[in-house]
Amino acid sequence: MKALSVTEISEYLKKILRSDYLLSNVTVRGEISQMTKTASKHCFFSIKDKNDAVLNCVFFRVKDHMDDFRIGMEIIVQGAITTFPARSNYQLVATSVSMHQEGVLYKQLELLKQKLQEEGLFLQDKKRPIPKVPKAIGVITSSTGAAVHDLMHVIHRRMPMTDIIIYPSLVQGIDAPKALVQGIEFFNAFDGVDTVIIGRGGGSFEDLFAFQEEVVVRAVAASKHPIISAVGHEADVVLTDHAADLRAPTPTAAGELATLAQHQLHDTLDHLKQQFEKAFIEKLDDETLYLSHLYERLERKNPMTLCLAFERQLEACQMRLNYSVQRQLEQRDHTLAMFETTLQAHNPYAVLRRGYAFVTKQNAVVSSIKNVKPQESIEITLYDGKINAKILKIEKGDTNAV
């Protein structure tokens, strides 16, 4: 293979770049990182981006307007990428250079932010707490699009009892700031809401610009009700975010920040119930304890208790009495039995069985012949019956002599 000269390869590269559709007319955005103007009115400068990639640029025979450009400014350069064979590098040969619109806006925004900050619109101690149990929430946003639906959904999922009042507003375009301010003013004049949410879903930097407008920021700062700014996505921070009482990263998050989850309300309520039930039960326990203490004291002096004691004493006495009486009775019984035995031994009728008899006259015992006369009737009692007899004869005799 034939070896090429350096010039040949350089020329080839130059030709390739020139014939490239994109590189021959390209628009590049970047921040000026270096700039030199020559006496011959050429301007050599570099632009870089946030990754620190650097592109060398040159603007030949620039007019006066390049005087406005400073290092650090975001600009847009249009031109062609060419090579410079003598240095083996490439550069962008500019045909026009302009300030990047966002760069300008950023600058203006920065100034506005600073001004409002100095006025105290963003002071932390001016921030009001967001009511946790809002009866009604005012929402200023577009009535179409995902944001309003997300908000309604989140608010009613967490707190179904909260009323939502939507102020449909333009959220981008030239008339948006006025509409947003009117929304805030509407709620200022309306007592029926506890919190206001102002916001919109995601969009480009320009789309969100209404929320950077001074009138809107001032209206947010002056809102009568606590206000949450919920604009775009997490990464988008706009001036209303600083002016509001609370910044929500997204409209959905605003719905969450403006409400408690329903279960939290139930938990609070249940906890309160437990607390007052506990207080009541303790009260009852105290009273019960006191009552039983009183009862004991009273019981000690209860006449019934005293009576019972007497009664028991009485019972004991009675028992003793019964016992001693019974013992005496038993003793008597015994003595009686003994008498009976003795008596039995001396029973005169028992003698009759041995052949003896006794004589009575008119139921009186005849124990001597002197008691009777002949011809008188007498009664002779034997062991098994009686004999009526008449005395025939009386003979005196001495039975002791037998």
Partner 1 sequence: MQFNDYEKNIEKLESITKRLEEENLPLHESVALYEEGMKLHQELKKCLTETKGKVQRVNVEELSLEPWEEMPDEI
Of the ranges 48-56, 162-170, 203-211, 237-245, which one interacts with partner 1 (CB under 8 A)? Answer: 162-170
327 lies in the binding site for partner 1 (CB under 8 A): no
Min dist. Cβ of residue 71 to partner 1 (A):
41
Min dist. Cβ of residue 287 to partner 1 (A):
5
Complex with partner 1: residue 162 or 252, whichever CB lies closer: 162
Of the ranges 216-224, 258-266, 294-302, 374-382, which one interacts with partner 1 (CB under 8 A)? Answer: 258-266
By CB under 8 A, how many residues form the interface with partner 1?
39
User: In whole angstroms, what is the distance from residue 286 CA to residue 234 CA?
Assistant: 57
Give strand ranges (E) for 235-276: 246-248
143 lies in the binding site for partner 1 (CB under 8 A): yes
Q: Pick from 17, 28, 109, 166: which binds partner 1 (CB under 8 A)?
A: 166
178 lies in the binding site for partner 1 (CB under 8 A): no
CA torsion 155-156-162-163 (nearest 10°) is: 90
272 lies in the binding site for partner 1 (CB under 8 A): yes
Of the ranges 235-243, 261-269, 292-300, 363-371, which one interacts with partner 1 (CB under 8 A)? Answer: 261-269
User: In whole angstroms, what is the distance from residue 164 CA to residue 187 CA?
Assistant: 12
146 lies in the binding site for partner 1 (CB under 8 A): no
Q: Determine whether 155 is exposed, middle or buried from the number of CB atoms within 10 Å of its CB (0-12, 13-18, 19+).
A: buried
Q: How many residues does this entry show for the chain?
A: 402
Of the ranges 52-60, 116-124, 131-139, 377-385, which one interacts with partner 1 (CB under 8 A)? Answer: 131-139
294 lies in the binding site for partner 1 (CB under 8 A): no
User: In whole angstroms, what is the distance from residue 356 CA to residue 243 CA?
Assistant: 152
Complex with partner 1: residue 89 or 144, whichever CB lies closer: 144
269 lies in the binding site for partner 1 (CB under 8 A): yes
User: In whole angstroms, what is the distance from residue 33 CA to residue 50 CA?
Assistant: 11
Question: Is residue 138 within 8 Å of residue 196, measured between CB atoms?
Answer: yes
Would you tell me how many other CB atoms lie within 10 Å of the CB of residue 138? 26
264 lies in the binding site for partner 1 (CB under 8 A): no
Min dist. Cβ of residue 9 to partner 1 (A):
57
Would you tell me how many other CB atoms lie within 10 Å of the CB of residue 164? 18
| Per-residue mark of binding to partner 1, 210-249 (x: CB under 8 A) | ----------------------------------------
268 lies in the binding site for partner 1 (CB under 8 A): yes
| The amino acid at 161 | M
Question: Is residue 176 within 8 Å of residue 170, measured between CB atoms?
Answer: yes
Of the ranges 42-50, 179-187, 206-214, 374-382, which one interacts with partner 1 (CB under 8 A)? Answer: 179-187
Complex with partner 1: residue 173 or 348, whichever CB lies closer: 173
Complex with partner 1: residue 283 or 334, whichever CB lies closer: 283
292 lies in the binding site for partner 1 (CB under 8 A): no
* Residues in Cβ contact with 111 at an 8 Å cutoff, skipping those fewer than 6 apart: none
| One-letter-per-residue 3-state SS of 31-90 | EEEEEEECCCCCEEEEEECCCCCEEEEEECCCCHHHHHCCCCCEEEEEEEEEEECCCCEE
The gap from C-alpha 272 to its chain's centroid, in whole angstroms, comes to 9
User: In whole angstroms, what is the distance from residue 99 CA to residue 110 CA?
Assistant: 16
362 lies in the binding site for partner 1 (CB under 8 A): no
293 lies in the binding site for partner 1 (CB under 8 A): no
Q: Give the DSSP letter of residue 210.
A: G
Q: Give the DSSP letter of residue 30.
A: E
204 lies in the binding site for partner 1 (CB under 8 A): no
130 lies in the binding site for partner 1 (CB under 8 A): no
Per CB under 8 A, contacts with partner 1 among 42-81 are: none
Interacting residues toward partner 1 by CB under 8 A: 133, 135-136, 142-144, 152, 155-156, 159-168, 170, 179, 182-183, 186, 262, 265-266, 268-269, 272-273, 275-277, 279-280, 283-284, 287
